[in-house]
Amino acid sequence: MWPAADSLFNQLTLHAERIALREGERQLSYRQLLDEVSRRSACLTQLGAQRIGLALDNGIDWLLWDLAALQSGLVCVPLPGFFSADQQRHVLDSAGVDCLLGRDSLAYRELGFVEIAAGLLLRPLPQVSQLPAGTCKITYTSGTTGQPKGVCLDAHTQLQVARSLVKASASCRVERHLCVLPLATLLENIAGVYAPLLTGACVELLPMAEVGLLGASQFDLPRFLGALNRVQPNSLILLPQLLLALVSAAERGLPLPDSLRFIAVGGGRVAPQLLERADALGLPVFEGYGLSECASVVCLNTPEQRRIGSVGKPLEHLEIRLGPDQEVLVKGPRLLGYLGEPATQGEWLGTGDLGHFEEGFLVLHGRKKHQFITAFGRNVNPEWVEAELVQQLPIAQAWLHGEALPENVAVLVPRFPNTSDEQLDAAVEQVNRQLPDYARVHHWLRAEQPFSASNELATSNGRLRRAALYRHYQRAIAQLMADQSCYGDAS
C-alpha cells in the first residue's frame, strides 16, 4: 500500500454499513467496498501488473479499480474518454501501462494488449519509463498544443486536497454527491470521490451519457436535469458551461431538486454575472480554482467565506502569493514531477495564471501566456471578455484577438443555427457596455464552425487552441481590418 493511503482505508472502515457507492440499482456499503477493493487488489498483485490504465466509463467499477491500485501500491493512469485515439495511445505508451481495464478494441490490440478476461487486458513491457519515487497516479493535462503531459502525483498530496475540501465544505453536510464530470478528471476523482468517502457520504455514479455528457463537447440538458431529479444530490461539480445550462434551465422554470447544498464550479473563468444569476435563483454555487500540478483544487469559496468574482481563499494545506508580474505562485503539496522531465525545483510553483488578492480572496485575470498587447500598449486578458460574451444567449463560443491591433476582433460561434447577425451584434453591444474601451469587441466575425477537438480549434475539454484559431482566421481578420480601415482611423 502506498504511504498515506492507509489513513484513507482506515477512515472508510469507520462507516461500515452505510452506503458508499450507488450506480442505478447497484449499490455497495463501505464494508462491501473495502472487501471488493481487497479482492481486486489481490487480482492485480497476482497478475504482476505494475501500471494500471483505467479506460472505463463512469461507474462503480472505475472507482473500485482506482482504489485497488492505491491499496496495491501500483501506479494508476486514468485514460480520459474525451482524448483522441492518438492521445490515448500516447498516454498508454508514455506511462508504460501494462494492465488496462476497459473494453477490448482494435486500437488496444495494435498496442500489444491481449484480453485475458472480460474488460481486463495485459501486455508485456520489457522496459518502462522511470517515474519519480512515490508516484501512484499519473494524470494527463490536455494542454493547448501537442500531446498531453503526464503529471506524477503521490497519495499524500491527493489526500491532503481531499481533507482540506472536507473541512471547507463541512457546514453543507453533504450526504450524497453526484459525479457529473468524468472520473478520469482529477477534479471529480479527488473532490467528487475521495472527499465524500472520507465523510461517509454516498457517491452516486452514472455512465456519462446518463448525466447528459456525450463525447467531448455534446451536452444533453434534459438528461442532465432528469439525472439530478432522480438522484436528488446534495453536491455537484460543474464546468462553467454546465453551470450556465443549469442556471438558464432554472430561469426558464424547469424543475431542479431542492436537495442541492453545494455546487462547486471550476475548470475555467466564471463570469460574475452568471454567479449573480445563480444567487438570484437561490442556487448554492461556489467558485474554485486549481491545477493538476497541485492535485486539483487550491482555492475555494465556501458558505462562510464567499466573494463573487473571486475563486475563493487558499485551502488550509497550502499558501499562495503573487510574483512581481502578478503570477499566482503556490507553496505546498504538489506534483513529484512531469513524466519524462527533471523534477521541478524551488518551493514556489508558478501556475501561469495572473491575479490579485482582495481581502484574502484570489481574483484571477487570465493566463499569463494568453494576454495580448494592443497597438496602443494596453494589456488585455481575452478570457475575461470571452466569458462575458458567452453569457449572452446568442453566443455559444467566443475567441478574442487583438495582439498589436488598434482594435479587437472576436470570432463568434452562434448558439443556434438560425441566430442572425443582428442578434449577435446586439449581444456584443450588451457586453461592450460593461467593458473599458481597450477591452471591447470592436469588430467581430461569424465562425465557420464550432471550435472543437475534431477541427483542432479547441482541446478535448473545451479550452481554446488560440494559436490554431489565429492561424485559421488570420487572413479573415486581416481582410476585416483592411475593409474597416482600422489602421488609418486609429488615433
**CATH value at residue 390:** 3.30.300.30
- Dump pLDDT digits (tens) for 444-483: 999 999 999 889 999 876 889 999 999 999 999 999 988 7
In terms of phi and psi (left: phi > 0; alpha: psi -120 to 50; beta: otherwise), the region of 60 is alpha
Average pLDDT value for residue range 392-409: 92
On whether residue 80 sits in a domain, the answer given is yes
Q: Give the pLDDT score at 143.
A: 52
**pLDDT score recorded for residue 487:** 39
Same domain, 348 and 404: no
The whole-number pLDDT of residue 12 equals: 96
Helix (H, G, I), strand (E, B) or coil at 80: coil
193 part of a folded domain? no
Highest mean pLDDT among 25-39, 127-141, 337-351, 354-368 belongs to: 25-39
- Residue 341 or 178, more confident: 178
- Nearby residues of 346 by Cβ (< 8 Å), 6 or more positions away: none
Residues 400 and 362 in one domain: no
CATH number of the domain bearing residue 256: 3.40.50.12780
Clarify whether residues 30 and 146 are in a common domain.
yes
Is residue 77 within 8 Å of residue 95, measured between CB atoms?
yes
**Does one domain contain both 133 and 226?**
no
Residues forming a β-bridge with 380: 372
Same-domain pairing of 405 and 356: no
**pLDDT attached to residue 217:** 55
Residues 285 and 379 occupy one common structural domain? no
The confidence score (pLDDT) of residue 428 equals 97
Q: Does any domain span residue 311?
A: yes
d(CA 292, CA 40): 27
Q: Which domain holds residue 433?
A: 371-489
CA distances from 434 to 99, 263, 401, 426, 427 (A): 53, 27, 18, 13, 12
The residue type at 123: R
pLDDT at 490 over 70: no
Region 164-180: mean pLDDT is 97
Instruction: Compute CA distances 120 → 40, 113, 302, 359, 428, whole Å.
Output: 12, 9, 41, 52, 52
Residue 131 lies in a domain: yes
Residues 103-129 have a mean pLDDT of 90
pLDDT computed for residue 390 by the predictor:
93
| Per-residue DSSP letter, 193 | I
Number of domains in the chain: 3
Alpha-carbon separation of residue 107 from 88, 110, 121, 226 (angstroms): 9, 5, 12, 34
The pLDDT confidence band at residue 375, using thresholds 50, 70 and 90, is: confident
Instruction: Report if residue 90 sits inside a domain.
Output: yes
In a domain, 265, yes or no: yes
**Co-location of 471 and 354 in the same domain:** no
Nearest-angstrom CA–CA distance, 240 and 135: 31
Residues 402, 356 share a domain: no
Question: How much is the average pLDDT of 35-47?
Answer: 96
Same domain, 115 and 228: no
pLDDT at 286 exceeding the cut of 80: yes
d(CA 405, CA 107): 46
pLDDT band at 237 (very low <50, low <70, confident <90, very high): very high
Q: Are 355 and 365 in contact (CB under 8 A)?
A: yes
Buried b (16+ CB within 10 A) or exposed e, 108-129: beebebebeeeebbbeeeeeee
Residue 308 shares a structural domain with residue 426: no
